[in-house]
């Protein structure tokens, strides 16, 4: 791809979403953008570039970001963090919040919903006795509108339900819908999906959370953006709350009130 066009699109996306593209990824960027350009009725990528260089509508910018995000996810991704959530984190949170009876969880960068639904499934299966007297909410956000749409629908194909979802959960909490599987209302009702750009956390998110999952998204950001986003998320973690990154990730900043806790193969960051 022409260097000028590459720089234009990478600059645009980095400014709007924090996602930083490295040289060498041109082929991926080019094929995804060309597909978008054609679907929007442009002749080719150059034609698209010439048009939006002069006038870029917010809706088109969203489509560009949507096209360039990597939305890879699956149910109970990496498995062991969800074991830790079930065995260690949720029991501790339900006990700690026994006065106010509110437990708030946030899947920041939830993609197509498998991450927040995995937590919802754990709660329904193992902690349903708390649901009658606790307010339990799972806030799930992403920058990709198309991912959020799929997440809200809660319909997954056979390949998606085969990835990580125990068959007992599939049978109990999903209904067959043609060749697909529709997630049960009870699982869906615990989760609230919303559009949120992680760059805007400090100005847009007013609540505090007991458990924050921010998995496999900071890896796409430059060092500065990573630090800024991590700091803003850490600020809205309640004292006594837990922060979980992707299994291969480490916190970009060392916070004074951050305690590293290890449960089996899972590393979590606890706010002391």
Ligand X SMILES: C[S@@+](CC[C@H](N)C(=O)[O-])C[C@H]1O[C@@H](n2cnc3c(N)ncnc32)[C@H](O)[C@@H]1O
Query: Between 145 and 184, whose beta carbon lies closer to ligand X?
Result: 145
Instruction: Spell out, one character per residue from 75 to 114, where the chain touches ligand X: x when CB under 6 A holds, - when not.
Output: --x-------------------------------x-x---
Does residue 158 bind ligand X (CB under 6 A)? no
Under the binding rule (CB under 6 A), the answer on residue 73 touching ligand X is yes
State the CB neighbour count (10 A cutoff) for residue 193: 22
> Shortest Cβ distance from residue 3 to ligand X (Å)?
24
DSSP 206: -
The Cα 7–Cα 247 span in angstroms is 31
Phi, psi of 215 (to 5 degrees): -115, 130
Q: Map the footprint of ligand X across residues 176-205, applying CB under 6 A.
A: 197-199
Task: Give CA separation, 26 vs 32, 185, 195, in Å.
Answer: 10, 41, 27
Decide if residue 72 touches ligand X (CB under 6 A): yes
**Residue 118 touching ligand X (CB under 6 A):** no
Site for ligand X contains 268 (CB under 6 A):
no
Contacts 24+ apart (CB under 8 A), 245-248: 245/214, 245/215, 245/218, 245/269, 246/78, 246/215, 246/216, 246/219, 247/78, 247/80, 247/81
Residues 40-69 that bind ligand X (CB under 6 A): 69
Q: How many residues sit in the footprint of ligand X (CB under 6 A)? A: 24
Contacting positions for ligand X (CB under 6 A): 17-19, 69-73, 77, 109, 111, 115, 142-144, 147, 197-199, 215-217, 220, 246
């Amino acid at each position: 791809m022409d260097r000028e066009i590459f720089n234009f699109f990478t600059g645009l996306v980095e400014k709007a979403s924090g996602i930083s593209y490295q040289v060498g990824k041109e082929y991926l960027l080019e094929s995804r953008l060309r597909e978008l350009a054609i679907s929007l009725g442009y002749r080719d990528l150059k034609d698209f570039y010439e048009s939006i260089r002069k006038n870029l509508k917010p809706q088109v910018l969203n489509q560009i970001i949507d096209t360039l995000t990597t939305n890879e996810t699956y149910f109970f991704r990496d498995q062991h963090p969800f074991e830790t959530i079930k065995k260690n984190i949720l029991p501790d949170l339900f006990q700690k919040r026994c006065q106010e009876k509110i437990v708030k969880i946030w899947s920041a960068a939830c993609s197509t919903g498998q991450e927040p639904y995995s937590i919802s499934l754990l709660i329904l299966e193992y902690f349903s006795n708390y649901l009658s007297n606790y307010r339990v909410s799972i806030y799930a956000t992403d920058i990709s509108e198309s991912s959020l749409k799929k997440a809200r629908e809660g319909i997954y194909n056979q390949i998606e339900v085969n990835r990580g979802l125990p068959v007992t959960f599939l049978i109990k909490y999903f209904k067959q819908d043609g060749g697909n599987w529709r997630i049960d209302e009870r699982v869906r009702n615990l989760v609230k999906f919303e559009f949120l750009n992680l760059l805007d956390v400090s100005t847009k998110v007013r609540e505090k959370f007991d458990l924050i999952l921010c998995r496999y998204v900071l890896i796409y950001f430059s060092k500065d953006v990573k630090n800024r986003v991590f700091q803003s998320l850490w600020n809205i973690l309640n004292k006594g709350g837990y922060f979980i990154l992707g299994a291969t990730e480490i916190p970009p900043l060392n916070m004074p009130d951050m305690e590293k806790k290890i449960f089996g193969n899972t590393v979590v960051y606890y706010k002391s």
